[in-house]
Amino acid sequence: MANIRDVAKEAGVSVATVSRYLNKKGYVGQKSAAKIEQAIQKLNYKPSLVARSLSTKQTHYIGLIVPDITNPFFPELARAVEDIALTYGYTVVLCNSDGNPEKELHYIDTLQQKYIAGFIITTSSLDAHHYENLTIPIVALDRKIEGPLPTVSSQNKEGAKVGTNHLIERGCKNVICLRGPKGVGPADERLAGFIEAVQDTSIQTEIIECSFQFDVAERIVKKALLGNPKIDGIFASSDVSAAGALKAAHALDLHVPNDLQIIGFDNVSLSEMTTPGLTTIAQDIYKMGAVAARMLIKTIENLPLEEKKVQIPVELIQRGTTRSEKI
Amino acid sequence: MANIRDVAKEAGVSVATVSRYLNKKGYVGQKSAAKIEQAIQKLNYKPSLVARSLSTKQTHYIGLIVPDITNPFFPELARAVEDIALTYGYTVVLCNSDGNPEKELHYIDTLQQKYIAGFIITTSSLDAHHYENLTIPIVALDRKIEGPLPTVSSQNKEGAKVGTNHLIERGCKNVICLRGPKGVGPADERLAGFIEAVQDTSIQTEIIECSFQFDVAERIVKKALLGNPKIDGIFASSDVSAAGALKAAHALDLHVPNDLQIIGFDNVSLSEMTTPGLTTIAQDIYKMGAVAARMLIKTIENLPLEEKKVQIPVELIQRGTTRSEKI
């Protein structure tokens, strides 16, 4: 494979001139530029991006830190980030943090040494000041991080209110809120929306903390339903937990939606695969990923951001786990 | 941040000596080594991995090319690859090829310029000779690629035979085989296993090509069931298509497994989320990813491979879409 020296020799200029030409830094005469371009074509020279990254400190790698790519929300997000990155000539490094602050720090540390161009973070395991001390661009996604970081999130609170009202309008009197893990931004916001919707009503409620895991939700809901046969509605903070709740209802021979109505959150592809399909508050996951990727790349390339805190609208999608008509 | 010159100055040696020490190449006296180590500690110097990759041509990035990360098989695979990579100090670059040869070539080309250390490919969109001409390590995963490439795959044919026999033993007389896309290695192998299991029996069969997509499978199966009410068994080449078949059966008010039995392939997490849960041929997806990552890293580091073609065993997992007893 031809290297920069071969190009310089072929073009009859110095290596430094070729380097200035490739990195678009410093003066290169028109004639020299033309000769270099010809040499590049003739030798089929492909500039080493690693070598260039040393002078420009630009690798065009961006890091995507997710808690766990096997949680169905994150592949859809990763897909969007990768699609946009590809369009702009960036490639995506995938990191599973498991919500472990040490693991997240390890990634940020190691990848900075590889001159990663920026990060999209979807975890809130580190304190805000960790991010603020970093000198490279970061966009926070689906996790509220206080402070000046650019952030993309969904209308979590508003969505939870809409979802809870949907249950109330369809006759639910005893509703469980399967809130997600405490301290996780979207889970806290959805809980706040649920609480706002039920206050000043006569609805009986129980709030249960439940991780975004299918089997955990299934177990918790089974126990709750056995403990209180009056429960007739479940607001779940994710589709995965809603699917677990649905499975628990089936195991107890409860008819969904006649005996029990369930609403999820996210609209991951799983939500149409269950029978009945899950009524859910749909996030535009692809758009969230795409907007975050564009914001990050703009920041990397020193372009101005129109907005630093973007909220993506949500919408209710009705399938079979809630009654078709209000009562 | 301290750079290599600062370390050399602090240690009282030349930059070249520090470079030899860091890259473990060439002679460095014991005393100098000790001084360099002290200087590194004192200055909290972190060698730039990009700079090092220029001399060693090692970035410790590995590329994982998947058709589409939102297909539930691939996040589980990606997770395993990333876990193992992390253990060995590698990071994973995620590429969605959409089974598009041009896109795959673009990735291979671009990432080679960034001195990517190797690739795990899970697509067969390129002809074998494309891979053979590459000078960097490649491991093929879940896709049979002829020739000398190291390969990790599942016992697809054996698994399909076990799955089909499971349907026959439970009384199925009219069985649809939802084969995956033609030309995709595992899909072809599973079809071969199905055909071997039904030959020399009186079972009526129909083989239908069907992509590994939920909605496509749902539509195809609905049409097939309406066209032939005698169908009492479906062998699906993936869990996603089996879930589509199950949804179609529910839409037609068929009882699964009494009226219709269904078996899938993969054992992705979706398979326990449906009601009834999917009987399936389980691949050890995590192990496939982990073995492939270890093979790739060994190849990158010039360590010998014990085996170049690894087949991971599969096993039948019975859930609710087939009858509990043989008849």
Amino acid making up residue A308: K
Is the CB of A115 less than 8 angstroms away from the CB of B214?
Answer: no
Size of interface A-B (CB pairs under 8 A): 137
How many residues does this entry show for chain A? 327
The percentage of chain B sitting over the pLDDT mark of 70, rounded to a whole number, equals 91
Whether cis (ω within 30° of 0) applies to the bond prior to B67 is no
Amino acid making up residue B51: A
Residue in this structure with the two tokens 């891979």, named with its chain if needed: B131
Is the CB of A114 less than 8 angstroms away from the CB of B91?
Answer: yes
Same domain, residue pair B145 and B225: no
Instruction: Give A239's contacts (C-beta < 8 A, 6+ positions apart).
Output: A72, A264, A265, A266, A267, A268, A270, A271, A278, A280
Name the minimum distance, in Å, from the CA of A287 to any CA of chain B: 15
Q: How far apart are CA A190 and CA A194, in angstroms?
A: 6
Is the CB of A275 less than 8 angstroms away from the CB of B246?
Answer: yes
Is the CB of A91 less than 8 angstroms away from the CB of B93?
Answer: yes
For residue A320, tell me if it sits in a domain.
no
Per-residue pLDDT at A48 = 63
For residue B324, tell me if it sits in a domain.
no
Same domain, residue pair A49 and A144: no
Name the minimum distance, in Å, from the CA of B246 to any CA of chain A: 9
Q: Per-residue pLDDT for B246 more than 80?
A: yes
Angle of CA points B150, B69, B180, to nearest 5°: 70
Q: How far apart are CA B130 and CA B19, in angstroms?
A: 36
Q: Per-residue pLDDT for B221 more than 90?
A: yes
Same domain, residue pair B220 and B293: no
Same domain, residue pair A262 and A169: yes
- Chain segment A33-89, per-residue pLDDT in tens: 999 999 988 887 776 655 555 455 556 899 999 999 999 999 999 999 999 998 888
**Nearest residue of A to residue B62, measured between CA atoms:** A93
**Nearest residue of A to residue B135, measured between CA atoms:** A1
Q: For B218, which DSSP code?
A: H
Closest to B114 (Cβ–Cβ): which among A49, A215, A243? A49
Closest to B114 (Cβ–Cβ): which among A50, A68, A247? A50
Identify how many contiguous H helices and E strands chain B contains and give both numbers.
12, 12
| A275 half-sphere exposure, CB direction, 13 A CA radius | 21
CATH no. for residue A65? 3.40.50.2300
Residue in this structure with the two tokens 């990517």, named with its chain if needed: B116
For residue A82, tell me if it sits in a domain.
yes
Per-residue pLDDT at B124 = 61
| A71 half-sphere exposure, CB direction, 13 A CA radius | 19
Backbone CA torsion sign across B191, B194, B200, B202: negative
Q: Contacts from B135-142 at CB under 8 Å and sequence distance 24+?
A: B136/B112, B137/B296, B137/B299, B137/B300, B138/B296, B139/B292, B139/B295, B139/B296, B139/B299, B141/B77, B141/B288, B141/B289, B141/B292, B142/B73, B142/B77, B142/B185, B142/B186, B142/B288
Q: How far apart are CA A305 and CA B105, in angstroms?
A: 33
Least confident of A290-294, B142-146, B204-208: B142-146
From A56, A82, A100, give the residue that closes a domain: A56
Instruction: Provide the pLDDT confidence category of residue B229 given band limits of 50, 70 and 90.
Output: very high
Closest to A96 (Cβ–Cβ): which among B51, B82, B244? B82
From B20, B38, B56, give the residue that closes a domain: B56
Per-residue pLDDT at A235 = 98
Is the CB of A68 less than 8 angstroms away from the CB of B49?
Answer: no
The per-residue DSSP string of A98-114 comes to TT-HHHHHHHHHHHHHT
Is the CB of A243 less than 8 angstroms away from the CB of B96?
Answer: no
Using a CB-CB distance cutoff of 8 angstroms, which residues of chain A are in contact with residue B53? 50, 114
Is the CB of B82 less than 8 angstroms away from the CB of A74?
Answer: no
Could you give the 3-state DSSP secondary structure of residue A65? strand
Mean of the per-residue pLDDT values of chain B: 89
Same domain, residue pair A46 and A87: no
**Nearest residue of A to residue B50, measured between CA atoms:** A114
For residue A123, tell me if it sits in a domain.
yes
Using a CB-CB distance cutoff of 8 angstroms, which residues of chain B are in contact with residue A47? 113
Per-residue pLDDT at B142 = 78
Name the minimum distance, in Å, from the CA of A293 to any CA of chain B: 14
Name the minimum distance, in Å, from the CA of B213 to any CA of chain A: 11
Q: For A207, which DSSP code?
A: E
Same domain, residue pair A108 and A165: no
Per-residue pLDDT at A205 = 98
Domain of residue B24, residue span:
4-56
Element (H, E) at B197: helix B185-198
Per-residue pLDDT at B298 = 94
Count of the separate structural domains present in chain A: 3
Amino acid making up residue B75: P
Region of B302 on the Ramachandran plot (φ > 0 left; ψ -120 to 50 alpha; else beta): left
Same domain, residue pair B114 and B104: yes
Closest to B69 (Cβ–Cβ): which among A78, A89, A115? A78
Per-residue pLDDT at B48 = 63
Distances (CA, A) of A88 to A37, A111, A290, B63, B129: 23, 20, 12, 18, 29
Residues of chain A with pLDDT under 50: 54
Same domain, residue pair A187 and A244: yes
Same domain, residue pair B108 and B187: no
Per-residue pLDDT at A29 = 86
Q: Per-residue pLDDT for B2 more than 80?
A: no
**Nearest residue of B to residue A107, measured between CA atoms:** B91
For residue B187, tell me if it sits in a domain.
yes
Name the minimum distance, in Å, from the CA of A69 to any CA of chain B: 6
Instruction: Give B30's contacts (C-beta < 8 A, 6+ positions apart).
Output: none
Name the minimum distance, in Å, from the CA of A202 to any CA of chain B: 33
Name the minimum distance, in Å, from the CA of B217 to any CA of chain A: 11
Is the CB of A92 less than 8 angstroms away from the CB of B93?
Answer: yes
Q: Which residue has the higher pLDDT, B259 or A16?
A: B259
Q: Cβ(B172)–Cβ(B203) under 8 Å?
A: yes
From B266, B284, B302, give the residue that closes a domain: B284
Sheet holding B174-179, edge to edge: B204-209, B174-179, B233-236, B261-266, B279-282, B315-317
Is the CB of B79 less than 8 angstroms away from the CB of A93?
Answer: no
Least confident of A73-82, B7-16, B205-214: B7-16
Q: Among candidates A283, A288, A265, A313, which has minimal Cα distance to A152?
A: A288
Element (H, E) at B204: strand B204-209
β-pair type (A315-317, A279-282): antiparallel
Q: B28 phi and psi, to 5 degrees? A: -135, 120
For residue A177, tell me if it sits in a domain.
yes
Name the minimum distance, in Å, from the CA of A274 to any CA of chain B: 5
Could you give the 3-state DSSP secondary structure of residue A211? coil
Per-residue pLDDT at A146 = 65
β-pair type (B118-121, A118-121): unpaired
Closest to B46 (Cβ–Cβ): which among A64, A113, A269? A113
Identify how many contiguous H helices and E strands chain A contains and give both numbers.
12, 12
For residue A324, tell me if it sits in a domain.
no
Q: Among candidates A253, A251, A252, A243, which has minimal Cα distance to A276?
A: A243
Same domain, residue pair B108 and B162: no
Same domain, residue pair A194 and A262: yes
CATH no. for residue A9? 1.10.260.40
- Tokens at residue A310, please? 């973007």
Same domain, residue pair A140 and A21: no
Distances (CA, A) of A11 to A132, A301, B113: 46, 31, 22
Instruction: Provide the pLDDT confidence category of residue B104 given band limits of 50, 70 and 90.
Output: confident
For residue A254, tell me if it sits in a domain.
yes
Using a CB-CB distance cutoff of 8 angstroms, which residues of chain B are in contact with residue A79? 68-70, 96
Per-residue pLDDT at A185 = 85
Amino acid making up residue A12: G
Is the CB of A95 less than 8 angstroms away from the CB of B82?
Answer: yes
Residue in this structure with the two tokens 């199950």, named with its chain if needed: B246
Using a CB-CB distance cutoff of 8 angstroms, which residues of chain B are in contact with residue A278? none
Closest to B70 (Cβ–Cβ): which among A61, A75, A243? A75
Closest to A270 (Cβ–Cβ): which among B54, B82, B273? B273
